[in-house]
Amino acid sequence: DAKTTQPPSMDCAEGRAANLPCNHSTISGNEYVYWYRQIHSQGPQYIIHGLKNNETNEMASLIITEDRKSSTLILPHATLRDTAVYYCIAHAQGGSEKLVFGKGTKLTVNP
Amino acid sequence: DAGVIQSPRHEVTEMGQEVTLRCKPISGHNSLFWYRQTMMRGLELLIYFNNNVPIDDSGMPEDRFSAKMPNASFSTLKIQPSEPRDSAVYFCASQGQAGAQYFGPGTRLLVL
């Protein structure tokens, strides 16, 4: 899997959009971008994934650049409960199922 | 769906004792993963199964650790004998065809 780079921490005001960046400049054509988050004392939670098109679900939106070298996870209206560590992972489906979790971004949503 | 179920949620044991952690994956998911998380090492994959068959156990720290998946709805991770350095949170996750992994709440293990 390609290496990903994320800022170690970010802050966001409650009710505002949280935009979490991820660089994956060595991503392969068959690798998807997955986002997970881990709220304190809980198991990691799947958020969203995409290959090259932008994706949206009930939790978040994923914007992938045209060259696929970076992406942004958007939480449109952050709440205090969105405070968590967010992990961006580049992973190819169909091969080894092994995911490698890096250090992620600690997002703190402030009131 | 109840999600991935793990038991026990907390375990305190003494060094040298056997510890067995249990996991029930989401029905219909064909891959199951065991992870360990510590402050020092983060989240590490220990082993994963596909259709009940162990595929990659390269993350299992040593022979004291063993994992089984006797059927599609149950897996165990056993540590025998346990040591203080095994203290961690152990997560089980299952994955279906779409590629996303769904994690259980974890078992917090403390070995004294």
CA nearest to B6 within chain A: A43
CA nearest to B101 within chain A: A46
Cβ of B12 under 8 Å from any chain A Cβ?
A: no
Q: Please answer yes or no on whether B103 and A49 come within 8 Å at the CB atom.
A: no
| Termini Cα distance of chain A | 37
- Chain A residue numbers touching B91 (CB-CB < 8 A): 43-44
Residues B38-54 pLDDT 10s? 999 999 999 999 999 99
Residues B9-33 pLDDT 10s? 999 999 999 999 999 999 999 999 9
Calculate the CA A80 to chain-centre distance. 18
Strand, coil or helix: B85: helix
pLDDT band of B61, cuts 50, 70, 90: confident
Structure tokens at A48: 């969203």
Residues A70-106 pLDDT 10s? 999 999 999 999 999 999 999 887 666 778 888 999 9
Residue A82 has phi, psi (to 5 degrees) of -85, -5
C-alpha distances (whole Å) from B96 to each of A10, A72, B30, B78, B103 are 32, 25, 6, 24, 12
Neighbours of A17 (CB within 10 A): 12
Mean pLDDT score, A8-35? 95
The rounded distance, in Å, linking the Cα atoms of B34 and B76 is: 9
Residue B3 has phi, psi (to 5 degrees) of 80, -170
